[in-house]
């Protein structure tokens, strides 16, 4: 009797899941979706360790506590991933975005001197702007106004930015007054830990191990703990690379809701608007590329290569920036790692719900994150930075309706109209530690070259306006402007 009751209950539960998520219609089942959800979590869980490391970096003024950032990271990833699954019934997962978190720490809080609350206010503001653009249907116009090559350059520039931060955090590259940067002390314990961690991570990636970045961080932390115990080195801060006194603790919600729009007064109106605009663009293009890329693998795209009902996914993603900023976790965005769950057969929003629940369950484990040294997350930053530079490559694809193969993607650096603006965008970001400066340099260079070549009609009006605003932004001190 009890066995039949349990069986009937399970069948009813499974039937409800199938009806709600249309599993049979999508050619999947509950077991496959659960496995896919766990897989996506495994390949994304590295953000739980990396995001606190970036936002709590020692050289960042008003740095956030690791306990608060870890809690916020897991909370935002969990809530927004579940929301994405329920709203779209697609296997997209969200978490605080790599690249944007570095911008928050090193540009907003570091170079611009904003407080943590003000920096998060910038993220909330850009999220609200994107949300309005989505609701008004203007997002497509903005996407069309920005040249494809500049969109690619933004992604590559942020990738170089992240990679550079990884090299610095790992001690491989250090500051030098004569040459700006130089090779670090390769005989030091921290660099040894970084090197071993990079070898471990590259091996796992080469062997196609699921969750390679996560396992790389964990195994490198073990190496750091052993190195500290054997050498007795003081190269690591107290408590770092040492076993924690407790493994589980009450989640730290102290920074939830701690954001401020005071950055307008501190930066000046024009500078504040351009900073918000620049971060919005980075968030903008990264999301669209991820939705299309993952959607193509999952079979979500229609015959025209477009994502049906994209408005829902775009809306949830834009709200991810608002929620991420409001929770002091940086902007949450859709992750390309969502493809991992799709790769094992996941197709529905149930994948996202499972992934989100696992993120929420990880919140009490923030003491474990506190022992992870920067050298353990440095390899992950280096690899993620490299991944973001993938748009530079050329790939072959079948020409539509033709048996031949054609070259797609890539950037023509030999063409001054394209190559120089792209180079300016890519290099200015890591060299100035500023995504705003990189985008501004790229926009101005692109517009000027087009005008010089008599191709001013090829430039969208909005690009002229934005380029002029960036010129004023760069010359604001010389012009004596306080805006």
Cβ distance 259 to 321 under 8 Å?
no
Looking at the domain assignment, is residue 7 inside a domain? no
How far is Cα 38 from Cα 188, in angstroms, rounded to an integer?
38
Cβ distance 38 to 358 under 8 Å?
yes
Q: Would you tell me how many other CB atoms lie within 10 Å of the CB of residue 397? A: 10
Query: Predicted confidence band at 291 (pLDDT cuts at 50, 70, 90)?
Result: confident
pLDDT at 109 (0 to 100): 94
Q: Model pTM?
A: 0.81
Cα distances from 415 to residues 59, 268, 412, 420, 423, in angstroms, run 40, 37, 6, 8, 11
Query: Predicted confidence band at 245 (pLDDT cuts at 50, 70, 90)?
Result: confident
Looking at the domain assignment, is residue 376 inside a domain? yes
E strand spans, 78-159: 94-96
Structure tokens at 360: 């929420």
Q: Is pLDDT above 70 for 479?
A: no
Looking at the domain assignment, is residue 482 inside a domain? no
Residues 6+ apart with CB under 8 A from 479: 472
Nearest CA among 235, 223, 174, 228 for reference residue 197? 223
- Is the model more confident about 76 or about 12? 76
Q: Is pLDDT above 60 for 15?
A: yes
How far is Cα 414 from Cα 170, in angstroms, rounded to an integer?
34
Cα torsion 209, 213, 214, 215 to 10°: value is 50
How far is Cα 222 from Cα 212, in angstroms, rounded to an integer?
15
Looking at the domain assignment, is residue 479 inside a domain? no
CA angle 269, 273, 278 (to 5 degrees): 150
How far is Cα 259 from Cα 413, in angstroms, rounded to an integer?
41
Cβ distance 409 to 394 under 8 Å?
yes
- Count: domains in the chain: 1
Cα distances from 364 to residues 67, 123, 248, 327, 359, in angstroms, run 9, 26, 5, 16, 10
pLDDT at 320 (0 to 100): 97
Query: Predicted confidence band at 143 (pLDDT cuts at 50, 70, 90)?
Result: low
Cβ distance 70 to 369 under 8 Å?
yes
Cβ distance 430 to 181 under 8 Å?
no
Which helix (H) or strand (E) covers residue 296, if one does? helix 269-298
How far is Cα of residue 134 from the mean position of the Cα atoms in its chain?
20
What separation, in Å, do the N-terminal and C-terminal C-alpha atoms of the chain show? 76
Half-sphere exposure of 446 (CA within 13 A, CB side): 30
Q: Is pLDDT above 60 for 396?
A: no
DSSP sequence for 215-267: HHHHHHHHHHHHHHHHH----SPTTTTS--S-S------TTTT---STHHHHH
Looking at the domain assignment, is residue 16 inside a domain? yes
pLDDT at 77 (0 to 100): 98
Which helix (H) or strand (E) covers residue 333, if one does? strand 332-334
| Secondary structure class of 181 (helix, strand, coil) | strand
Q: Is pLDDT above 50 for 2?
A: no
Query: What's phi and psi for 59, nearest 5 deg?
Result: -90, 15
Query: Predicted confidence band at 5 (pLDDT cuts at 50, 70, 90)?
Result: very low
Looking at the domain assignment, is residue 395 inside a domain? yes
Looking at the domain assignment, is residue 2 inside a domain? no
Q: Would you tell me how many other CB atoms lie within 10 Å of the CB of residue 410? A: 13
Which helix (H) or strand (E) covers residue 385, if one does? helix 374-388
Query: Looking at the DSSP assignment, which residues form a beta bridge with residue 175?
Result: 181
- Average pLDDT, rounded, for the chain: 86
Q: Is pLDDT above 50 for 398?
A: no
pLDDT at 394 (0 to 100): 53
pLDDT at 409 (0 to 100): 55
Structure tokens at 137: 């249907």
Q: Is pLDDT above 70 for 339?
A: yes
Range with lowest mean pLDDT among 112-121, 291-300, 438-447: 291-300
Looking at the domain assignment, is residue 193 inside a domain? yes
Nearest CA among 221, 235, 233, 222 for reference residue 378? 221
Query: Predicted confidence band at 13 (pLDDT cuts at 50, 70, 90)?
Result: very low
State the residue range of the domain holding 309: 12-474
- Helix axis angle, 269-298 relative to 435-452, nearest 10°? 90
Nearest CA among 17, 49, 41, 9 for reference residue 368? 49
- Is the model more confident about 67 or about 15? 67
E strand spans, 3-149: 94-96
Which helix (H) or strand (E) covers residue 261, if one does? none
Range with lowest mean pLDDT among 221-235, 286-300, 363-377: 286-300
Cβ distance 74 to 360 under 8 Å?
yes
Structure tokens at 326: 């409001």
How far is Cα 99 from Cα 157, in angstroms, rounded to an integer?
9
Residues 6+ apart with CB under 8 A from 328: 55, 64, 68, 69, 72, 116, 117, 120, 255, 256, 258, 259
Tens-place pLDDT, residues 163-215: 998 899 899 999 888 888 899 998 999 999 999 999 999 999 999 888 889 99
How far is Cα 408 from Cα 305, in angstroms, rounded to an integer?
15
């Amino acid at each position: 009797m009890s066995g039949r009751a349990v069986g009937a209950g399970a069948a009813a539960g499974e039937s409800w899941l199938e009806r709600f998520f249309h599993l049979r219609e999508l050619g999947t089942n509950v077991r496959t979706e659960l496995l896919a959800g766990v897989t996506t979590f495994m390949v994304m869980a590295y953000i739980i360790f990396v995001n606190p490391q970036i936002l709590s970096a020692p050289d960042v003024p008003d740095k956030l506590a690791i306990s608060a950032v870890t809690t916020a990271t897991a909370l935002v990833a969990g809530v927004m991933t579940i929301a994405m699954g329920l709203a779209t019934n697609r296997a997209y997962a969200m978490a605080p975005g790599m690249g944007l978190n570095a911008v928050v720490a090193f540009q907003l809080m570091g170079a611009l001197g904003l407080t943590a609350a003000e920096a998060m206010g910038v993220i909330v503001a850009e999220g609200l702007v994107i949300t309005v653009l989505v609701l008004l249907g203007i997002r497509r116009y903005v996407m069309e106004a920005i040249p494809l090559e500049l969109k690619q350059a933004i992604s590559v520039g942020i990738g170089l930015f992240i990679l550079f931060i990884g090299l610095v955090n790992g001690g491989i590259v250090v500051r030098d007054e004569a040459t700006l940067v130089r090779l670090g002390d390769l005989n030091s314990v921290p660099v040894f830990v970084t090197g071993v961690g990079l070898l471990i991570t590259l091996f796992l990636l080469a062997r196609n191990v699921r969750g390679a970045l996560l396992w790389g961080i964990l195994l490198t932390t073990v190496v750091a703990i052993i190195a500290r115990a054997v050498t007795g080195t003081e190269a690591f801060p107290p408590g770092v690379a040492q076993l924690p006194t407790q493994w589980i603790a009450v989640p730290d919600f102290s920074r939830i809701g701690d954001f401020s729009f005071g950055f307008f007064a501190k930066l000046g109106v024009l500078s504040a608007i351009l900073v918000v605009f620049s971060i919005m663009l980075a968030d903008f293009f990264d999301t669209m590329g991820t939705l299309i890329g993952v959607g193509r693998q999952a079979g979500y795209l229609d015959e025209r290569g477009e994502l049906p009902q994209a408005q829902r996914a775009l809306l949830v993603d834009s709200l991810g920036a608002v929620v991420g900023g409001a929770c002091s976790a940086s902007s949450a965005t859709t992750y390309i790692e969502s493809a991992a769950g799709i790769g094992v057969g996941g197709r529905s929003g149930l994948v996202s719900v499972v992934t989100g629940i696992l993120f929420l369950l990880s919140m009490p484990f923030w003491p474990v994150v506190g022992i992870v040294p920067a050298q353990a997350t440095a390899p992950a930053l280096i690899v993620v930075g490299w991944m973001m530079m993938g748009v530079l490559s050329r790939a072959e694809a079948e020409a539509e309706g033709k048996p031949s193969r054609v070259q797609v993607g890539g950037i023509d650096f030999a063409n001054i109209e394209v190559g120089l603006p792209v180079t300016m965008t890519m290099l200015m970001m890591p060299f100035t530690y500023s995504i705003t400066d990189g985008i501004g340099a790229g926009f101005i260079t692109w517009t000027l070259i087009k005008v010089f070549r008599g191709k001013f009609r090829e430039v969208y009006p909005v690009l002229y306006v934005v380029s002029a605003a960036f010129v004023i932004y760069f010359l604001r001190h010389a012009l004596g402007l306080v805006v």
